[in-house]
């Protein structure tokens, strides 16, 4: 359930008319709902109520806006980060360093040093090579980095190939059958305090079964490590729970996920960690856009050209992803159209042959479920600027990220003198 609903026939974000935001801030613009973020944070936490010891770290990659992170931090969420930049954002948003988990296959030496200095709570190590490097850096500082080892369970998550992470040929985690040996060697290093395991098999999972299989394998590994004498106190189960992108679509609920986790992890006697991203932020945001013109196309469906483009919302172009597209002031009339942006490539297509509200030039519309992996994946391709972000709270809103015009982007560029 989200808070982007019609009032008197006109789409609102909570109690703010989207028409008002479009008039005052301009389009395209990302609009987030605080009430929806908080509701999702609560629902996810409550779904894990029967798990005795747990911590939740929001996957910052899904939506790194400082105001969004502040909302979630105040809900008791920590942060799962995958770069020095994300770590700095989480800290800037007021999330305590000890509540930050640092994941990712390519942590640089500098990022690891900065994370140690900042006091991040846990590193999820993705390779033996990384573990050795982290140990050296921590040891050099007279510190011990608190770590889990991320394992690759070789399980097909059944999601889009570009966001699947748990197959043996994906770059993530260490091979399952080598994990005990690697864990043992890393645990012997003075700069590391190995305390457990981590796993994450992919994103937008529409089926709990692959997660269940992965967690069962992690449970088996946990027993092996304990049998070998290693005290395992923490297991990070990652994120991945999918969300409905189409009205009426049924996906496993957080409650079903929580029930499965409780069943599989029963008796593990560890602190469980979770890294949800999309399930918290996805349906808490829309991309508000204005129709530039409707281009007729003979007998074929017309092109609805909107002012948002693939640089603002990359998911349809990258993954063929579906985002529901609704008029802000629907007339009741419907049309079938191709929904496209102004960018000069055919990939700049949000939807083909989409049955949608009838629209004419100047109308406003939203791409729904754009609160996760939306603004954060934007680029400035075609020298378009970066879209602003707005957070709504009841009947008020604030611009929580300014529009960055192209001039500000090319202000960082230089023409060397010797070019004349």
Which residues are identified as catalytic? 344
Asked if residue 102 binds ligand LLP (CB under 6 A), the reply is: no
Q: How far is the CB of 59 from ligand LLP (least distance, A)?
A: 3
CB count in 10 Å sphere of residue 409: 14
Q: Tell me how far apart the alpha carbons of residues 316 and 350 are, in angstroms, rounded to a whole number.
A: 6
Among 278, 290, 338, 384, binds ligand LLP (CB under 6 A): 278
Residue whose CB is less far from ligand LLP, 277 or 330: 277
Among 373, 386, 389, 390, binds ligand LLP (CB under 6 A): 373
Asked if residue 62 binds ligand LLP (CB under 6 A), the reply is: yes
* Cα dihedral 218/219/224/229 (nearest 10): 100
Q: Is the dihedral of CA 397, 398, 401, 407 positive or negative?
A: positive
Pairing relation of β-strands 349-357 and 334-340?
Answer: antiparallel
Select from 12-20, 42-50, 233-241, 299-307 the region that touches ligand LLP (CB under 6 A).
233-241
Asked if residue 59 binds ligand LLP (CB under 6 A), the reply is: yes
Asked if residue 264 binds ligand LLP (CB under 6 A), the reply is: no
Asked if residue 203 binds ligand LLP (CB under 6 A), the reply is: yes
**Half-sphere exposure in the Cβ direction for 235 (13 Å, CA):** 27
Residue whose CB is less far from ligand LLP, 165 or 311: 165
Q: Tell me how far apart the alpha carbons of residues 188 and 190 are, in angstroms, rounded to a whole number.
A: 6
Structure tokens at 43: 């629902």
Select from 209-217, 274-282, 283-291, 327-335 the region that touches ligand LLP (CB under 6 A).
274-282
E strands within 70-157? 78-81, 100-102, 122-125, 145-152
Q: Are 15 and 393 spatial neighbours (Cβ–Cβ below 8 Å)? A: no
Give start and end residues of each alpha helix (H) in 298-355.
315-319
Residue whose CB is less far from ligand LLP, 238 or 330: 238
Structure tokens at 149: 């080892």
Q: How far is the CB of 18 from ligand LLP (least distance, A)?
A: 23
Asked if residue 277 binds ligand LLP (CB under 6 A), the reply is: yes
Asked if residue 196 binds ligand LLP (CB under 6 A), the reply is: no
Residues lying near ligand LLP in the complex (CB under 6 A): 59, 61-62, 80, 103, 163, 165, 200, 203-204, 238-241, 275-279, 315, 319, 373
């Amino acid at each position: 359930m989200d808070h982007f609903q019609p009032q008197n026939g006109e789409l609102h974000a909570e109690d703010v008319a989207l028409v008002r935001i479009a008039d005052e801030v301009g389009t395209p613009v990302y609009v987030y709902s605080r009430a929806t973020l908080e509701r999702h944070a609560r629902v996810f936490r409550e779904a894990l109520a029967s798990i005795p010891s747990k911590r939740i770290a929001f996957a910052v990659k899904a939506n790194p806006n400082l105001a969004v992170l502040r909302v979630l931090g105040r809900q008791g969420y920590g942060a799962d980060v995958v770069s020095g930049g994300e770590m700095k954002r989480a800290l800037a948003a007021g999330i305590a360093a000890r509540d930050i988990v640092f994941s990712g296959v390519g942590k640089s030496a500098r990022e690891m040093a900065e994370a140690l200095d900042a006091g991040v709570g846990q590193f999820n190590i993705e390779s033996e090579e990384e573990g050795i490097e982290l140990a050296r850096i921590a040891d050099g500082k007279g510190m011990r980095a608190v770590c889990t080892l991320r394992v690759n369970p070789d399980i097909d998550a059944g999601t889009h190939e570009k966001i699947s992470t748990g197959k043996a040929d994906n770059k993530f985690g260490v091979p399952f059958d080598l994990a005990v040996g690697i864990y043992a060697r890393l645990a012997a290093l003075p700069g590391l305090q190995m305390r457990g395991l981590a796993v994450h098999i992919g994103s937008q999972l529409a089926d709990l079964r692959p997660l269940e299989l992965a967690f069962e394998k992690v449970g088996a590994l946990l027993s092996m490590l304990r049998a070998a004498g290693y005290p395992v106190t923490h297991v990070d189960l990652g994120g991945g729970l999918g969300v409905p992108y189409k009205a009426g679509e049924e996906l496993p609920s957080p409650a079903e996920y929580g029930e499965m986790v409780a069943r599989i992890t029963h008796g593990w006697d560890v602190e469980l960690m979770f890294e949800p991203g999309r399930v918290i932020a996805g349906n808490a945001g829309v991309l508000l856009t204005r129709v530039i013109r409707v281009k007729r196309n003979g007998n074929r469906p017309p092109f609805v050209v909107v002012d948002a483009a693939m640089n603002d919302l990359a998911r349809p172009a990258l993954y063929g992803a579906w985002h529901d597209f609704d008029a802000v002031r629907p007339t009741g009339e419907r049309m079938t159209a191709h929904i496209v942006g102004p960018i000069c490539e055919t990939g700049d297509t949000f939807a083909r042959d989409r049955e949608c509200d009838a629209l004419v030039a100047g109308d406003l519309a939203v791409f729904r479920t754009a609160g996760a992996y939306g603004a954060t994946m934007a680029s400035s391709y075609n020298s378009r600027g970066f879209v602003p972000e707005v957070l709504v709270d009841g009947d008020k809103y604030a611009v929580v990220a300014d529009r960055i015009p192209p001039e500000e982007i090319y202000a960082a560029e230089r023409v060397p003198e010797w070019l004349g």
